[in-house]
């Protein structure tokens, strides 16, 4: 008993059940990776090879011409620019606003702050469908419809509740003594927040940055509603317009590959932090 490892003690480790687990997990992993690999491989095929019957999984003749067409045509520049601008500005705002609010909720409770926090969390269950009509009417009236700012603002609002939840927890975990020490040095509230507290919530801010980047980069519903002309659309909506334009498939595969690459790269860099953070935020929050 004592020389068995911790993991082995937890569940029976018959050879059969271990093989079943390996097969199950390998199959699940393959199914999860397959669609992404498929689109990446197709993006390196010559257009005529994509429609070959029967199709081949690996490119018969590797080529980068689809990527050359993407950059040469410039037809996707607006989609890329919109996605990048909306994501960068949106994430910046979410990180700043959630750090401010998270600190306020964690360290400076005021009358009704508990209720306000609960109310903000309750918005997580709201279906956006209820909000789309008023958002459209408001943005139409204020001229925000079909602008980048018009997509940044609602995205920020939608991402804030979860970000505040994470940041509040990270600020609450900072011992009171640390802030008290800064207070004795005579630093004001805002300077203490900026110089002492914010640097200590680095992990929380990374987590908020990464999660918000995914949310906004791939956001579809708001963009579908508030960007009604192609030049205002981000990738997530713009590319779906090409769904039935069959002759574009090689190029479309290349654009999709370019569009899903940034989130996947970020995932590969931060995956440990993301997995830990998501479980903490969800389970303990």
Site for other proteins in 142-201 (CB under 8 A): 153-154, 156-158, 160-161, 164, 176-177, 180-181, 184, 189, 193
In the bound complex, what is the minimum distance in angstroms from residue 72's beta carbon to other proteins? 22
Contacts of other proteins in 14-53 (CB under 8 A): 17-18, 21-22, 24-26, 28-36, 38-39, 42, 50-53
Q: Which stretch binds other proteins (CB under 8 A): 67-75, 84-92, 199-207, 252-260?
A: 252-260
In the bound complex, what is the minimum distance in angstroms from residue 51's beta carbon to other proteins? 5
In the bound complex, what is the minimum distance in angstroms from residue 17's beta carbon to other proteins? 8
Binding footprint of other proteins, residue count (CB under 8 A): 107
**Can you tell me the distance from the alpha carbon of 22 to that of 25, in angstroms, rounded to the nearest whole number?**
5
Q: Which of 123, 191, 195, 230 binds other proteins (CB under 8 A)?
A: 123
In the bound complex, what is the minimum distance in angstroms from residue 97's beta carbon to other proteins? 4
Q: Determine if 229 is a binding residue for other proteins (CB under 8 A).
A: no
Neighbours of 37 (CB within 10 A): 11
Neighbours of 252 (CB within 10 A): 21
The answer to whether 226 touches 139, Cβ cutoff 8 Å, is yes
Q: Determine if 135 is a binding residue for other proteins (CB under 8 A).
A: yes
- In the three-class reduction of DSSP (H, G, I as helix; E, B as strand; rest coil), residue 60 is classed as coil
Q: Which stretch binds other proteins (CB under 8 A): 62-70, 74-82, 115-123, 199-207?
A: 115-123
Q: Which of 73, 77, 231, 279 binds other proteins (CB under 8 A)?
A: 279
Q: Which of 88, 149, 195, 275 binds other proteins (CB under 8 A)?
A: 275
**Can you tell me the distance from the alpha carbon of 48 to that of 126, in angstroms, rounded to the nearest whole number?**
46
**Can you tell me the distance from the alpha carbon of 126 to that of 122, in angstroms, rounded to the nearest whole number?**
7
CA 61 to chain centroid, in Å, comes to 35
Q: Which residues contact 110 (CB under 8 A, 6 or more apart)?
A: 104
The answer to whether 105 touches 166, Cβ cutoff 8 Å, is no
Q: Determine if 61 is a binding residue for other proteins (CB under 8 A).
A: no
Give exposure, 145-182, as e/b (b: 16+ Cβ within 10 Å). bbbbebbbbbbbbbbbbbbbbbbbbbbeebeeeebeeb
Q: Which of 47, 75, 92, 263 binds other proteins (CB under 8 A)?
A: 263
Q: Which stretch binds other proteins (CB under 8 A): 62-70, 84-92, 198-206, 216-224?
A: 216-224
């Amino acid at each position: 008993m004592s020389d068995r490892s911790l993991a082995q003690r937890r569940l029976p480790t018959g050879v059969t059940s271990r093989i079943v687990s390996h097969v199950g997990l390998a199959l699940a992993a393959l199914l999860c990776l397959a669609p992404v690999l498929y689109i990446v491989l197709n993006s390196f095929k010559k257009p005529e090879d994509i429609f070959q019957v029967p199709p081949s999984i690996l490119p018969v003749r590797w080529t980068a011409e689809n990527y050359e067409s993407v950059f040469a045509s410039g037809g996707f520049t607006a989609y890329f620019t919109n996605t990048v601008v909306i994501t960068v500005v949106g994430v910046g705002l979410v990180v700043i606003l959630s750090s401010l609010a998270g600190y306020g909720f964690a360290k400076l409770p005021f009358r009704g702050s508990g209720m306000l926090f609960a109310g903000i969390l309750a918005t997580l269950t709201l279906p956006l469908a209820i909000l789309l009509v008023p958002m459209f009417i408001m943005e139409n009236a204020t001229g925000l419809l079909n602008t980048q700012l018009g997509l940044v603002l609602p995205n920020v609002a939608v991402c804030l509740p979860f970000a505040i939840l994470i940041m509040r927890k990270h600020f609450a975990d900072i011992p009171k003594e640390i802030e008290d020490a800064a207070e004795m040095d005579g630093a004001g509230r805002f300077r203490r927040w900026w110089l002492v507290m914010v640097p200590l919530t680095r992990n929380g801010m990374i987590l908020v940055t990464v999660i918000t980047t995914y949310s906004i980069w791939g956001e579809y519903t708001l963009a579908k509603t508030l960007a009604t002309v192609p030049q205002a659309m981000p990738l997530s909506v713009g590319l779906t317009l090409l769904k039935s334009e069959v002759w574009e498939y090689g190029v479309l595969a290349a654009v999709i590959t370019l569009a899903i690459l940034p989130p996947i790269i970020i995932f590969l860099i931060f995956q440990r932090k993301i997995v830990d953070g998501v479980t903490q935020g969800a389970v303990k929050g």
